[in-house]
Amino acid sequence: MSLQKTSDWLEFDKNHLWHPYTSMTNPLPTYPVESAHGVRLKLADGRELIDGMSSWWAAIHGYNHPVLNSAIEKQLKSMSHVMFGGLTHLPAVTLAEKLVKLTAEPLQHVFLADSGSVAVEVAIKMAIQYWYAQGKTNKQKLLTVRHGYHGDTLGGMSVCDPVNGMHAMFQGVLPEQYFAPEPTCSDDGSSNIHCLETLLVKNQSKIAAIIIEPLVQGAGGMRFYCPEYLRQLRQLCDEHDVLLILDEIATGFGRTGSLFAYEQADIVPDILCLGKALTGGYMTLAATMTSAKVVQGISADGMGVLMHGPTFMANPLACEVANASIDLLLSTPWEKSIQRIENQLQDELLACQELSIVEEVRVKGAIGVVELKEPVDMKTMQADFVKEGVWIRPFNKLVYIMPPYIIKKDELAILTKAIYKILKSLDANKF
C-alpha cells in the first residue's frame, strides 16, 4: 500500500486512526500538518495556521526551536532510552536537580512519569500508601472540587467532575471520591471553602488527600479562582491531617504569570504534579514531586516501595529536552512575555463580552477564555477558524487560547480578531 498522496493517507487516517475525543463512525475532520515552525502550523495544502493552543498547552517555546532540536540530536547520539529500574543516567539526574531547585524547598523527591495522567496516578498512589504504611488503611478516598480535570486514566478520571466532565459513563467503574463545589472567592478573603470544609470534617477518617488544580481549572471548564482559596485549603489540610496534591500539569512553567501557580498563594503542596510544558511540547514526560514527610511516611512500615514503574519513565531524550526547555525558559524574560500576552488578551477579547451569546470573558496570564451561553458546534467552528488562518480548538461552551510564549503582538491579534469575527457572525445569525 502506498500512502504518498495526502488524500490517500488522510483517507487511511479517517478509517483506521482513532483521534482523541472523537468517534470512529462519525469522526470530526482532521487537518494534515506538514511541518511546524515558531507559532505556525503548515498544512499539506500550503496554508499556515497560527497556533493558539500550544499543542494542548505544552509548546511554550513554539515549534522547531533550534535549542531544543539540538538537545535531542545530541542526546540521540549517546542513548535514546534505557530502563530506569536499577539504572540511572545524567539527563534524569540533571532534570531532578533542576526541578528540586525551582520548586518550594520541601519538594525534594522526584518521580519521573511518562504523561500527566500517570503523574496524577502516582500522586494518588503516594497519598494512599502514605496512610497505609502508618496503619490508617481506611484513608483511601480523595476530596476534590467540581469542574476539575486530572487526566483520562482511571485514577485521574475518578477525581474529574463526575457530572459535568467527560467521564460520566464510567461512574459505576471508578472509585467514588468526594466532591465539593468549584472554588469561588474574592481577594478580600471570602470564599465558599466552607462547603469543602464540611465534607472534610465529616469524612476525615476516610480522606487521604485533597487534589486540586491551583488557580486555574483547565479542561473541566477553564475557570479561574483567587489565591486566597488555596491558602485556606492548605490550612484546612494541616488542621485535619490530610495531604494536599496540586495538579500543575497545565499551569506549571509560567502559564499563569508565576513559574508555578502555587507561588501566588505562598503555599507548598505535599505532592506536586508537573507535565505538558515540561519538555516544551517536544516529548511526553511528567513528574510527581513530594516532600520528605511523604517519603518517610510511605516508609513507616519498613518497606517504602512506591508501587509504580512505567516502561518509559525518565526517557533520556525526554529528560534532556526538558533540561533544555527549562534552561531556555529561564534565560528569557518570560514574566514580561506572559504579562504582555495577558494585557493584549484583556484588551482584545473584551469586545466579545458585548455579544449576546457570550456569558463571560476571562483572562489569566497567557490564558484567554470566552465562555458562551450555549455549547458550540465544534465541527463548524473549527473549520471557520481554519479558514481564518488560526488553530483554535473550542469545546463545549468554551472558545479559548493558550498560545506559545514567543507569540508576537501581530500574531496574537490575528487569533483574537478571528475569535471576535466568528463569534460576532454566530451572534448575528441568532436573530
Residue 5 CB-half CA count within 13 A: 4
DSSP 307-351: ----TTTT-HHHHHHHHHHHHHHHTTTHHHHHHHHHHHHHHHHGG
**Per-residue confidence (pLDDT) for residue 431, from 0 to 100:** 64
Least confident of 10-19, 185-194, 280-289, 312-321: 185-194
**Per-residue confidence (pLDDT) for residue 249, from 0 to 100:** 98
Distance (Å, whole) CA 248 – CA 241: 22
CA distances from 173 to 140, 148, 176, 211 (A): 16, 19, 9, 20
**Can you name the CATH fold of 31-64+333-428?**
Aspartate Aminotransferase, domain 1 (3.90.1150)
**Per-residue confidence (pLDDT) for residue 188, from 0 to 100:** 66
Please compute the mean of the pLDDT values over residues 388-399 and round it to a whole number. Answer: 96
| pTM for this model (two decimals) | 0.96
Q: What percent of the chain has pLDDT over 90?
A: 90
Q: Active site includes 247? A: yes
Q: What percent of the chain has pLDDT over 70?
A: 98
Q: Out of 5, 8, 14, 21, which one is annotated catalytic?
A: 21
pLDDT at 168 over 80: no
Under the banding of pLDDT at 50, 70 and 90, the label for residue 229 is very high
pLDDT (tens digit, 9 = 90+) per residue, 118-157? Answer: 999 999 999 999 999 999 999 999 999 999 999 999 999 9
Q: Active site includes 420? A: no
Would you state the cell numbers that stand for residue 158, as one nine-digit string?
A: 475518578
Under the banding of pLDDT at 50, 70 and 90, the label for residue 325 is very high
pLDDT at 223 over 80: yes
pLDDT at 351 over 60: yes
CA distances from 227 to 84, 266, 271, 298, 411 (A): 37, 8, 18, 30, 31
Q: Out of 276, 364, 384, 400, which one is annotated catalytic?
A: 276
Under the banding of pLDDT at 50, 70 and 90, the label for residue 116 is very high
Q: Active site includes 421? A: no
Under the banding of pLDDT at 50, 70 and 90, the label for residue 187 is low
Q: Out of 63, 130, 132, 149, which one is annotated catalytic?
A: 149
Among residues 329, 427, 375, the alpha carbon closest in space to that of 59 is found at: 329
pLDDT (tens digit, 9 = 90+) per residue, 259-300? Answer: 999 999 999 999 999 999 999 999 999 999 999 999 999 999
Greatest pairwise CA separation for the chain in angstroms: 69
φ, ψ dihedrals at 112, nearest 5°: -90, 110
Least confident of 112-116, 242-246, 345-349, 427-431: 427-431
pLDDT (tens digit, 9 = 90+) per residue, 3-60? Answer: 778 889 999 999 999 999 899 999 889 999 999 999 999 999 999 999 999 999 999 9
Distance (Å, whole) CA 19 – CA 28: 9
Under the banding of pLDDT at 50, 70 and 90, the label for residue 425 is very high
Please compute the mean of the pLDDT values over residues 307-335 and round it to a whole number. Answer: 97
Domain ranges of the chain: 31-64+333-428, 69-330
Give the bridge partners for 245, in sequence order: 211, 271
Distance (Å, whole) CA 139 – CA 141: 6
Round the CA-based radius of gyration of the chain to a whole number and report it.
22
* Alpha-carbon dihedral angle through residues 58, 61, 66, 67, given to the nearest 10 degrees: -90
Distance (Å, whole) CA 248 – CA 57: 12
pLDDT at 2 over 80: no
**Can you name the CATH fold of 69-330?**
Aspartate Aminotransferase; domain 2 (3.40.640)
Among residues 394, 388, 391, the alpha carbon closest in space to that of 374 is found at: 394
**3-state class of 92 per DSSP?**
helix
**Per-residue confidence (pLDDT) for residue 165, from 0 to 100:** 66
Q: Out of 247, 270, 384, 405, which one is annotated catalytic?
A: 247
Q: Are 421 and 428 in contact (CB under 8 A)?
A: no
Q: What are the residues whose beta carbons fall under 8 Å from the beta carbon of 78, sequence distance 6 or more?
A: 316
Element of type H or E holding 43: strand 40-43
By DSSP bridging, strand 107-113 and strand 286-291 are antiparallel
Q: What is the mean pLDDT of the chain?
A: 95
Give the bridge partners for 216, in sequence order: 224
pLDDT at 180 over 80: yes
Domains 31-64+333-428 and 69-330 equal at CATH topology level: no
pLDDT at 185 over 90: no
DSSP 174-206: SPP-EEEPPP-B-TTS-BSHHHHHHHHHHHGGG
Higher pLDDT, 431 or 388: 388
